[in-house]
Amino acid sequence: MFSKTCNHGIRATIYISEQSLHGKKVSLKDVAKATESPLAYTSKILQQLVRYNIINSDKGRAGGFSMDKERLEKVKLISVVLAIDGDSIFTNCGVGLNKCNEKMPCPVHHQFKPIRENLKQMLETTTIKSLAQQLGLG
């Protein structure tokens, strides 16, 4: 459903969030290892997440990637999806047609619409912190 890059971005954000809950900052290498993705690929994803103010990046000896308490409380899963994939999952045709809308629906338009709306609602109400906490519980 999401791009491979978005999946890695979600995993990276959850990992950084989980570590931030314990007061830890993580390195690029830590994130790449935890998400099982190449270093350069992870770097580009993290740059995008920093650009969209989803995660923090601090340089220097005590540097690393983290999320402050305010972001942990406020950042929703939809922020990560929009930062990496944009809103195409909510606007594009379910079967990939160029001209699909309410007036000229594709064969699955009306079945796909409630699924898309439910997905959007879930992404808008799920915080990164809640995901990190749930993963921490096993």
pLDDT value at residue 34? 93
Residue 138 has pLDDT above 60, yes or no: no
pLDDT value at residue 94? 83
pLDDT value at residue 111? 92
| Locus of tokens 């969209």 | 52
pLDDT value at residue 98? 87
pLDDT value at residue 137? 61
Is 96 within 8 Å of 22 (Cβ atoms)? no
pLDDT 10s digits, 83-135: 999 998 888 888 888 888 888 899 999 999 999 999 999 999 999 999 988 87
Is 132 within 8 Å of 14 (Cβ atoms)? yes
pLDDT 10s digits, 20-71: 999 999 999 999 999 999 999 999 999 999 999 999 999 988 789 999 988 8
Give the Cα separation of 66 and 107 in Å (integer): 44
Mean pLDDT within 6-31 = 95
